[in-house]
Amino acid sequence: MTVTSPAQTPAFPSKLPQVGTTIFSVMSALAQQHQAVNLGQGFPDFGCDPALIDAVTAAMQAGHNQYPPMPGMPQLREAVAAKIEALHGRQYDANAEITITAGATQAILTAILATVHAGDEVIVLDPCYDSYAPNIALAGGVIVRVPLTPISFRPDFAKIAAAITPRTRLLIINSPHNPSATIWTADEMRQLEALLAPTNVLLISDEVYEHMVFDGGQHESAARFPGLAARAFIVSSFGKTYHVTGWKVGTVAAPAALTAEFRKVHQFNVFTVNTPMQVGLATYMQSPAPYLELSAFYQRKRDLFAQGLAQTRLKLLPTTGTYFQCVDISGVTDLSESDFCQWLVREVGVAAIPLSAFYGDGFDQKVVRFCFAKQDATLLAALERLRKL
C-alpha cells in the first residue's frame, strides 16, 4: 500500500514581507461595516461625461477591439503630445517619447523596473503615495526617505542634497501632492533643476493631479524645465482627469532614450492597454475644455467642503491642488491619527485617512486627509456628521 503525503503549498520567502493590507482597504471596509460616509479613498462617486462613454462605445462598435500598438494608439499619443506642448511649451515626439500605460501606478512601476538595478538608491519624499516603496523593493533598489517639512510639506533641498550619493539612481517627486494637497512652485522646480544638474540622477515626476490646481495657481510640470525634462519620466492619468479611475489608463512622457528603456519593460509587463478606451479618449481629447475646466469644478467642491469644516474644531490646512483636504486634529483629540480615523468611522460615521500611513516611519503630526471628489450630497452628508466635532 502506497502512502501519499497530504498536498502542501510550498513555502517561499516573500518579496514584500513588510506589505500587508493597505490603509485604504482597511478604512473602506470599516466604513462599509459602520455605514459611514467614505471620504477616505481617492476616487469620485459620480459618473464621467456621457460623451466619453459614447466615444468608447463607438470605438468598440467600429471594431477597435484587438491589440493596439505596444506604445499605444498613435492618435492618443499625438493628442497627449499636443496637450503637453500647448500647456507647457515642450515638444515630445508622439512616436518615440509618449507611451500609454495601464494607469499611473503601472507607469511608475515600469519606470522604476527599467532604471533601478539591485543596490541602486531611490529617493522618495515623505509623505508619499504608497506604491513607491514597494515598487523600489521589487526592483531590488534601496529606499531613501527624505521628509518634506512638517505641516507645510515643502521640499527641503538641503536634506535632498545630503541624501544624494554615487548610488542614487532616481528621485521621485509628486505635484500636485498626494496626500498633502500642496503644489511645487516654479522656484522650487528651478532649485531642483539646479540641484540635479551636476548629477546622473533620473527623475519620476508624478503629475496625476495636474489639472487640479486652485486659486489661480499654475501646475509646474517638469516638462517646463529643460534640465528636468531631459532626465524625467513625466506621469499622468486619464482616470484622475476624466473621473474614470477604474479604466486604469495613464501616460508617460520621457526623452527618447529613456522611453526606449521604459518600453523594453512595458512590453513584457502589460504589453499594451485597452484599445477602445484609447480610441475613445483620443476622440474626447479633441476638446480641451474638460481638462481646462477641471480646476474650477474641484475648487467649487473644495470650497463647499471647507466652508462646512470651518464649523467644526478641525483646523484646515491649505489645499492648493488635488481633490484632498487635510486637517489638523490636535484641537479635537489626543488620539493618534490612526486611532482617530477609526474612532471617526465608528462614532461619527465618516471615513478619513491618517497621514502617518504615507510615512515610512509612521510619523504622526495629528493630520488626517479627506477626499472631496464626491457628489455634493455626499459631502453635505459627511459635513452634517462632522459638525458633532
pLDDT for residue 388 is more than 90: no
Same domain, yes or no: 280 and 297: no
pLDDT for residue 25 is more than 70: yes
Same domain, yes or no: 262 and 305: no
pLDDT for residue 5 is more than 80: no
The C-alpha atoms of residue 319 and residue 260 are separated, in whole angstroms, by: 37
pTM to 2 decimal places: 0.96
Q: Would you state the pLDDT for residue 1?
A: 61
Same domain, yes or no: 59 and 114: yes
Domain boundary among 228, 263, 286: 286
> What's the rounded mean pLDDT across residues 97-107?
98
13 is a domain residue:
no
Same domain, yes or no: 233 and 325: no
Q: Would you state the pLDDT for residue 123?
A: 98
Q: Which stretches does DSSP call E strand in the chain?
A: 37-38, 98-101, 121-126, 142-147, 168-174, 202-206, 232-237, 250-253, 315-316, 324-328, 350-351, 353-354, 367-371
DSSP-derived secondary structure letter, 182: -
9 is a domain residue:
no
pLDDT for residue 2 is more than 80: no
pLDDT for residue 339 is more than 70: yes
Which residues does 134 contact at the CB level (< 8 Å), separation at least 6?
A: 16, 19
The CA-atom distances, in angstroms, between 173 and each of 3, 128, 144, 345 are: 59, 9, 13, 31
Residue 158 domain boundaries: 50-286
Same domain, yes or no: 196 and 212: yes
66 is a domain residue:
yes
pLDDT for residue 162 is more than 90: yes
The C-alpha atoms of residue 46 and residue 26 are separated, in whole angstroms, by: 22
Same domain, yes or no: 58 and 30: no
pLDDT for residue 20 is more than 90: no
Same domain, yes or no: 150 and 192: yes
pLDDT for residue 322 is more than 90: yes
Give the residue among 320, 329, 321 at the shortest CA–CA distance from 350.
329
> What's the rounded mean pLDDT across residues 214-242?
98
DSSP letter for each residue of 321-349: BSSEEEEE-TTT-SS-HHHHHHHIIIII-
Percent of the chain with pLDDT over 90: 93
pLDDT for residue 41 is more than 90: no
Mean pLDDT score of the chain: 96
Percent of the chain with pLDDT over 70: 99
pLDDT digits (tens, 9 = 90+) for 230-279: 999 999 999 999 999 999 999 999 999 999 999 999 999 999 999 999 99
Q: Would you state the pLDDT for residue 126?
A: 98
Give the residue among 226, 234, 222, 232 at the shortest CA–CA distance from 257.
232
> What's the rounded mean pLDDT across residues 179-189?
98
Give the residue among 92, 61, 384, 130 at the shortest CA–CA distance from 251.
92
Measured between its terminal Cα atoms, the distance across the chain in Å is 72
Same domain, yes or no: 180 and 306: no
CATH number at residue 369: 3.90.1150.10
Q: Would you state the pLDDT for residue 223?
A: 98
CATH number at residue 162: 3.40.640.10
Q: Would you state the pLDDT for residue 3?
A: 62
